[in-house]
């Protein structure tokens, strides 16, 4: 199995993403790293433990990472994910407390222990990843790849220009996109096509296991927000699609291109400027998802979540 580290800010779609990874034999989850983002770090760290309890995986360690962005003021998405980040009534307690080590050092050590082999799946602001790249300049070259849910080839969701994970730490995203690491970006232009509609939520509930039940409850809360804010029939399965990109890259269409993160104050702050047509003649620094087979993705997600307790 492919060794992976998950770095994110659960957040309900991060939790679903982590459950998908924990249910999938193609990957071996070495650890869950928490970062600030949807809610504050103590909550994202706790929610990592809750996800492990749901998956029945007390063997996987949790590490707390960075509690704020590099330069900008912290954002929160509690209106989208609830005050705790996991808006469900009956959640299990974390099976084990977080480990003593810092997520940033853990990332570095895990990559150095297996040069060229470690995949990092990042589903939150890139603060931990950027700090790891600064602390260990060899790290971008040591990772198999970084797969990030974030950014967009088009419009944003937090501002007209910027996607939440990019906006929550644009300077960190800029560090990662200029690092030379092998990078895949799964942005809003594809994730907004993967909607947890009422029918899909019902299919999750019908799985008959606790994970299906909890995912259905989380996605029901999320659907209310997405209906009201974006006029969709349900919430977008952003972060699970980044895990799917590792498990089943053939479900997405990829295009190599140059991506620059706008860190200038103003209306484009946090925008991932994607050179779709190569008009800037800059070397590609990322493979960007430009298409997705949403039906197959959801069918496979469902099949994997059915394997969990």
Q: Which residues are catalytic?
A: 238
Which residue from 11, 31, 87, 212 is in contact with ligand BDR, where contact means CB under 6 A? 11
Instruction: Please identify, using beta-carbon distances, which residue of 13 and 169 lies nearer to ligand BDR.
Output: 13
123 interacts with Ca ion by CB under 5 A:
yes
Residue 220: name its binding partner from ligand BDR, Ca ion, none (Cβ under 5 to 8 Å by kind).
none
Mask of contacts with ligand BDR, 109-128, x by CB under 6 A? --------------xx----
Contact 47, 10 (CB under 8 A): yes
Q: Which two tokens stand for residue 287?
A: 């493979």
Instruction: Please identify, using beta-carbon distances, which residue of 84 and 209 lies nearer to Ca ion.
Output: 84
Instruction: Please identify, using beta-carbon distances, which residue of 57 and 238 lies nearer to ligand BDR.
Output: 238
Size of the site for ligand BDR (CB under 6 A): 15
Q: Which residue is nearest to ligand BDR (CB)?
A: 164
Instruction: Please identify, using beta-carbon distances, which residue of 52 and 142 lies nearer to Ca ion.
Output: 52
| Residue 169 CB, nearest approach to Ca ion (Å) | 12
Residue 44: name its binding partner from Ca ion, ligand BDR, none (Cβ under 5 to 8 Å by kind).
none
Contacting range for Ca ion; rule: CB under 5 A; set: 65-73, 136-144, 233-241, 254-262: 233-241
**Scanning residues 14 to 33, which ones bind Ca ion (CB under 5 A)?**
14
Contacting range for ligand BDR; rule: CB under 6 A; set: 8-16, 98-106, 170-178, 224-232: 8-16
262 interacts with ligand BDR by CB under 6 A:
no
169 interacts with ligand BDR by CB under 6 A:
no
Alpha carbon distance 272, 261 (integer Å): 5
Residue 19: name its binding partner from Ca ion, ligand BDR, none (Cβ under 5 to 8 Å by kind).
none
Contact 169, 70 (CB under 8 A): yes
Virtual CA dihedral for 127, 1, 48, 191, nearest 10 degrees?
Answer: 60
164 interacts with ligand BDR by CB under 6 A:
yes
Instruction: Please identify, using beta-carbon distances, which residue of 106 and 190 lies nearer to ligand BDR.
Output: 190
**Scanning residues 219 to 248, which ones bind ligand BDR (CB under 6 A)?**
238-239
150 interacts with Ca ion by CB under 5 A:
no
Q: Which residue has the tokens 């949403």?
A: 294
Contacting range for ligand BDR; rule: CB under 6 A; set: 67-75, 93-101, 140-148, 161-169: 161-169
Q: Which two tokens stand for residue 293?
A: 């087979």
Burial code (b: 16+ CB inside 10 Å, e: under 16) for 235-271 equals bbbbbbbbbbbbbeeebbebeebbbbbbbeeeebbbb
Contact 285, 177 (CB under 8 A): yes
Alpha carbon distance 168, 97 (integer Å): 26
| Residue 9 CB, nearest approach to Ca ion (Å) | 5
Residues that bind ligand BDR (CB under 6 A): 11, 13-14, 38, 77, 80, 123-124, 149, 157, 163-165, 238-239
């Amino acid at each position: 199995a492919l060794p992976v580290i998950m770095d994110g800010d659960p957040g309900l779609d991060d939790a679903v993403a982590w459950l998908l990874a924990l249910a999938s034999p193609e990957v071996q989850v070495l650890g869950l790293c928490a970062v600030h983002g949807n809610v504050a770090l103590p909550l994202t760290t706790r929610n990592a433990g809750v996800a492990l309890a749901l998956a029945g995986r007390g063997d996987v360690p949790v590490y707390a990472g960075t509690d704020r962005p590099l330069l900008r003021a912290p954002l929160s998405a509690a209106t989208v994910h609830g005050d705790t980040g996991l808006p469900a009534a009956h959640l299990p307690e974390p099976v084990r407390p977080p480990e003593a080590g810092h997520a940033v050092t853990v990332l570095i050590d895990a990559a150095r222990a297996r040069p060229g082999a470690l995949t990092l799946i990042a589903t939150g602001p890139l603060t931990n990843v950027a700090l790891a790249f600064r602390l260990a300049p060899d790290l971008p070259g040591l990772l198999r790849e970084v797969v990030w849910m974030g950014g967009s080839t088009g419009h944003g969701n937090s501002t007209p220009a910027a996607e939440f994970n990019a906006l929550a730490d644009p300077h960190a995203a800029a560090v990662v996109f200029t690092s030379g690491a092998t990078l895949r970006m799964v942005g809003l232009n594809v994730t907004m096509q993967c909607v947890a509609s009422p029918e899909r939520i019902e299919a999750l509930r019908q799985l008959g296991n606790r994970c299906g039940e909890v995912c259905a409850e989380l996605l029901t809360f999320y659907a209310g927000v997405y209906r009201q804010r974006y006029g969709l029939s349900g919430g977008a399965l952003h972060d699970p699609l980044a895990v799917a990109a590792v498990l089943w890259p053939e479900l997405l269409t990829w295009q190599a291109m140059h991506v620059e993160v706008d860190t200038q104050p103003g209306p484009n702050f946090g925008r991932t400027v994607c050179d779709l047509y190569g008009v800037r003649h800059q070397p590609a620094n990322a493979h960007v998802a430009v298409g997705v087979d949403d039906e197959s993705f959801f069918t496979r997600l469902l099949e994997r979540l059915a394997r969990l307790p």
